[in-house]
């Protein structure tokens, strides 16, 4: 069969069979793949007799090619000559009444894929173990502070309980009623505070690792400073926080971001202690970048800085300049990865006069897009309904996000009208639900601005019943679709959206 000799120049194994199942030609790569020789192949009278015992379902595949003119097999695994193989076979019936079979050997790709998946899984497990060990270290540092924190409200609670006892001993209890109520309130308040401190710590230990929520950046920083307080004990180190503009709202895993700040603050404290700076201070500055897409958080100190030779190594796992037993060398490495998992970055900006780290995180609009919704947006961009919720109340954003998470609607959040306007310019949305009363541009003016920009997307107001009358006055002018009264349930929210989107 000289007409098929050109097949010898192909890398892929090829076999040509007649319709009567006899073998007309095979190229060199075929011999290599099936570890056979021309002599043995020439003895074969039927392709089915030869390949069906080796390749599972080969007979069905061959018959399919005859019946339909061509066929491609699924990835087929089989054991041959002591080795596992993975093949994809393509068969084509040609006009000469012969069938050309091309064997794509994907054994190496399959094995590599399986191997790297297993390694990746192992790496993920190791990473979560490393993350947990760093967390435990931070927990250890926090424990001292927590006991101190609990002591204050506990003292208040005990004192007030004692005062209640005194009051109860008074001859005329009616005269003491006001005092008892006051002292009782103090006890309750103190116990609530203790409960909050403990639940914060429990959150840090057990909170879902990947859950992101809307959080106030300034509050995260303040909490982190509290957690890092034991390290500041008996030092003159001052921490000042500067917020440029309104405190930004972030869509983050609060616990993980706290872990980053605690790490950065602890590192700064260690460096300041070592340097013995006269007026040691840690400066934290929060800035929303001009275009509103990113939040910058700078953490700097006036300590010893980082030497040139160490600058490139500081984000490496297990790299530490601290004495043995004082640092694991994991803090910055983990912090770097945490920030990366939030689509942000952690950089060392300067290290000559103290260390200056910068965290850049996406503002909530961008973060909302990349937080799980991204995949939905790509895969279901045609069919998915995107709902933008605008509210300056973090709790409302988190509530709506949770309510819509399992629904057919994709959630996007904005903490202000300004941010919402940026988002609608960036990503088309199918519906907007907005609070009416917001700082800066309020709900009414937000919708006016939308209409001015010819954005005709349906809008629902989300407010209290006190504003129903106001809604009625502007309903037609602004083409408002309805109102959702706070508080609302998941079903109410979803049915309100569904009624409009249909």
Partner 1 sequence: MSEKLSITNRITGDEAHVSLVGVIDEDANFDKIKSLKMNQFIFDFNNVSMINSCGIREWIKYLQEIENAKISYINCPQIIIEQVNMVHGFIRKGTTVESFYAPYFCTNCDTGKKILLKNSEVINSKPPTKLCATCSSELEFDAIEKQYFSFLNQGK
Under the binding rule (CB under 8 A), the answer on residue 425 touching partner 1 is no
Q: Binding residue for partner 1 (CB under 8 A) from 3, 8, 56, 209?
A: 8
- By CB under 8 A, the residues from 225 to 284 that bind partner 1 are none
**For residue 336, how many other CB atoms are within 10 A of its CB?**
20
Q: Which residues contact 303 (CB under 8 A, 6 or more apart)?
A: 268, 271, 272, 274, 275, 277, 280, 354, 355
Q: Binding residue for partner 1 (CB under 8 A) from 28, 64, 293, 328?
A: 28
- Residue closer to partner 1 by CB (options 31, 191) is 31
CA dihedral (195, 197, 199, 202) in degrees, to 10, reads -140
Q: How far apart are the first and last CA of the chain?
A: 66
Q: Binding residue for partner 1 (CB under 8 A) from 29, 160, 371, 392?
A: 29
Could you tell me how many residues of this chain bind partner 1 (CB under 8 A)? 13
Q: Which range touches partner 1 (CB under 8 A), out of 36-44, 151-159, 226-234, 470-478?
A: 36-44
* Lookup result for tokens 């509103």: 292
Residues 414-445 as b/e (b if ≥16 CB within 10 A, e otherwise) read bbbbbbbbbbbeebebbbbbbbbebeebbbbe
User: 80 to each of 56, 111, 120, 168, how far by Cα in Å?
Assistant: 11, 15, 29, 90
Nearest approach in angstroms of CB 135 to partner 1 is 34
Q: Which range touches partner 1 (CB under 8 A), out of 33-41, 59-67, 139-147, 312-320?
A: 33-41
Under the binding rule (CB under 8 A), the answer on residue 112 touching partner 1 is yes
- Residue closer to partner 1 by CB (options 28, 328) is 28
- Element (H or E) spanning 383, and its range? none
Under the binding rule (CB under 8 A), the answer on residue 108 touching partner 1 is yes
- Of 281, 192, 261, 251, nearest to 220 by C-alpha is 261
81: helix, coil or strand? coil
Percent of the chain as helix, strand, coil, to the nearest 5: 50, 20, 30
Q: Which range touches partner 1 (CB under 8 A), out of 66-74, 107-115, 414-422, 486-494?
A: 107-115
Binding mask 170-209 for partner 1 (x = CB under 8 A): ----------------------------------------
Under the binding rule (CB under 8 A), the answer on residue 42 touching partner 1 is no
Q: Which range touches partner 1 (CB under 8 A), out of 35-43, 324-332, 349-357, 417-425?
A: 35-43
CB of 399 closer than 8 Å to CB of 388: no
* Binding positions for partner 1, rule: CB under 8 A: 8, 11, 28-29, 31-32, 37-39, 83, 107-108, 112
């Amino acid at each position: 069969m000289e007409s098929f000799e050109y097949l010898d120049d192909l890398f892929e194994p090829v076999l040509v069979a007649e319709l009567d199942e006899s073998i007309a030609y095979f190229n060199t790569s075929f011999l290599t793949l099936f570890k056979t020789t021309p002599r043995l192949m020439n003895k074969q009278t039927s392709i089915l007799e030869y390949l069906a015992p080796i390749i599972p379902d080969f007979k069905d595949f061959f018959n399919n090619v005859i019946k339909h003119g061509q066929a491609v097999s699924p990835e087929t695994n089989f054991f041959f000559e002591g080795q596992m193989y993975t093949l994809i076979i393509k068969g084509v019936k040609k006009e000469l009444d012969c069938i050309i079979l091309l064997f794509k050997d994907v054994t190496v790709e399959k094995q590599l894929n399986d191997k790297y998946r297993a390694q990746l899984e192992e790496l993920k497990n190791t990473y979560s173990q490393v993350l947990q060990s760093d967390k435990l270290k931070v927990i250890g540092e926090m424990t001292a502070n927590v006991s101190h924190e609990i002591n204050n409200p506990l003292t208040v609670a005990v004192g007030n309980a004692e005062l209640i006892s005194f009051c109860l001993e008074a001859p005329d209890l009616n005269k003491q009623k006001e005092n008892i109520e006051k002292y009782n309130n103090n006890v309750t308040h103190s116990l609530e505070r203790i409960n909050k401190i403990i639940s914060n710590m429990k959150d840090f230990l057990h909170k879902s690792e990947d859950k992101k929520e809307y959080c106030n950046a300034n509050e995260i920083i303040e909490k982190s400073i509290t957690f890092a307080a034991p390290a500041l004990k008996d030092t003159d180190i001052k921490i000042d926080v500067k917020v440029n503009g309104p405190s930004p709202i972030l869509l983050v895993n609060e616990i993980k971001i706290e872990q980053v700040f605690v790490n950065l603050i602890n590192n700064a404290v260690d460096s300041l202690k070592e340097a013995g700076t006269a007026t040691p201070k840690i400066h934290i500055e929060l800035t929303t970048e001009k275009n509103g897409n990113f939040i910058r958080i700078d953490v700097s100190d006036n300590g010893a800085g980082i030497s040139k030779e160490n600058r490139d190594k500081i984000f490496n796992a297990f790299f530490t300049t601290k004495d043995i037993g004082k640092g694991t060398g994991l803090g910055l490495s983990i912090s770097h990865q945490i920030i990366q998992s939030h689509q942000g970055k952690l950089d060392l900006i300067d290290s000559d006069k103290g260390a200056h780290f910068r965290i850049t995180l996406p503002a909530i609009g961008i973060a909302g897009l990349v937080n799980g919704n991204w995949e939905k947006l790509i895969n279901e961009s045609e069919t998915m309904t995107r709902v933008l919720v605008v509210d300056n109340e973090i709790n409302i954003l988190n509530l709506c996000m949770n309510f819509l998470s399992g629904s057919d609607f994709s959630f996007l959040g904005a903490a202000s009208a300004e941010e919402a306007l940026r988002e609608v310019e960036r990503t088309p949305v199918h519906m907007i639900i907005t609070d009416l009363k917001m700082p800066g541009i309020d709900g009414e003016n937000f919708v006016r601005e939308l209409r001015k920009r010819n954005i005709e997307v349906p809008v629902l107001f989300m407010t209290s019943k006190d504003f129903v009358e106001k809604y009625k006055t502007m309903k037609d002018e602004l083409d408002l679709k309805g109102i959702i009264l706070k508080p609302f349930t998941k079903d109410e929210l979803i049915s309100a959206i569904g009624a409009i989107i249909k």
